[in-house]
Structure 1
């Protein structure tokens, strides 16, 4: 019996994911990329904080990084090289408090922070009357602003350099205003020695325009004029803004390019920041020379020469075959050799 082949049947071809650029075409510098993962088991809220941090680091991070129980730090490091990953953000939990480590691959340094307090992005949204999160908000990296770190202390200089390099650098002469939609603010309080970590969205509002006209231009919606006698009533009834929307000269800018329908070039617009989370209060605990190991450059509990010599002695004994590590500076951290699991990296 003759067989007939269906010529119209199409062969399924798996789509190829678009690769992200590794070098900035404007500045020519290497674009930093990151992995956000955990060491040890995390409770539910900290797991959600991990997802919020991954979203914050978009687009140059692995949003769907999956972990299993038999991976260690070396596994992540082996994958980081071919993929161009430059930084690790590692969350862990001890009996006393949660911790976050920010490390540069492949040889460090590593900065350890104790998370004193934190709020999830969902908590921030629930506390706001009108939460704002546009679809294209995470298509570009956030801007980084550091405040209070210029005290001249060496450990604060290292912290400043680490956070500046974890996000892509921008060229103020060529940057597009449409790409500046988020900002990460870190404020250091020299009295409490705590760092306030905040994440905001940036929006512009035209100055001297009533709220009704602004909504009409931005939302493309036909207003309800049934209760008005004339079209002019729609313009004059709302006035030119309430006291809460008063124009602040320090927060107004003159635009160099068009940004949407309401914000035009050479016009003044007010800069508004709206928090989108997550929010953290961090305490700098320790800075290590290597990747989660090495000489302790700074410690909150003191960094005497005797303690450094003791640390070197213990590491040398460990290299000779001793499996126990009694480093006093890492009592409250998870051991990097604990099992965490295999992972599959998927990028958007």
Structure 2
């Protein structure tokens, strides 16, 4: 029985994103059920280490650190390959199963390749989606997509977050055994419950938007949101609260200076609990270029907070079509998002 097995959970990212947060939520549940779990965090991820401490999960740090173009390093960087092999060999002697937490197929590719070298059968990839690097707008996408074919085939056990990605994993590796472990969020207590949708549009003077997540234009699309707000027709006062940090934060601050005078952007930084700062907002914006099943979306749904998001990925399974904007090229999506914001503003002020 797996409940009697010792399980190592190896995190691979240097950031604390939605996938890592979801992994920790699942792990807390499994530990309560009696699973014997130990986590291994990259030594250069202090936010993850702090969260593991807060969650009271057993953990150690490791030094197999993420590199730019990691999927290439996973094939040609002998030092990186050796470190991955060394850690897995050590864990193999102490644990029955090893789960690699991969934000995408590149993160942790060294571990997947190392497991193939070592002939390890009980290595599992926990991966949220299977988007191509071309779709994700990654540098050297052609090379990464070519190499990722082999990485997908080097692992035969996967856990993913929805049936769509399960089917895509089997397409990439016909020998793979794939299980779906759906994302979830806890129901808020009554004191933290946001108003229902019908109660939401109450203050007539200001339209309040919130965007939360890693500030990374290539995935999260905060630049698209700013450009869309520049096109909004209404001259009503708009407040945009931005929660998060990331590599494009300074670019976003500079871009926000282009906003018209009726729109104020507030940069709140990274917050452990977004909903402490969301009690008076009208709409959550998710302007992502690609996603899995975003936690901020699930949390907003639990609180009956309206959401504006693109009609793609996990959003299609959860959000009413009235709240989705059409997808296409960057220019098309920018205008579609702007039109959707106008629609919500019009709805609020008519009420």
Q: Normalising TM by the smaller chain, what interval?
A: under 0.3
Q: Please, what TM-score do these two structures have when normalized by structure 1?
A: 0.25
Query: Relative to total residues, which structure has the larger helix share, 1 or 2?
Result: 2
Which structure shows the bigger proportion of residues in strand conformation?
1
Q: Which has the higher contact order (CA 8 A, sep 6+)?
A: 1
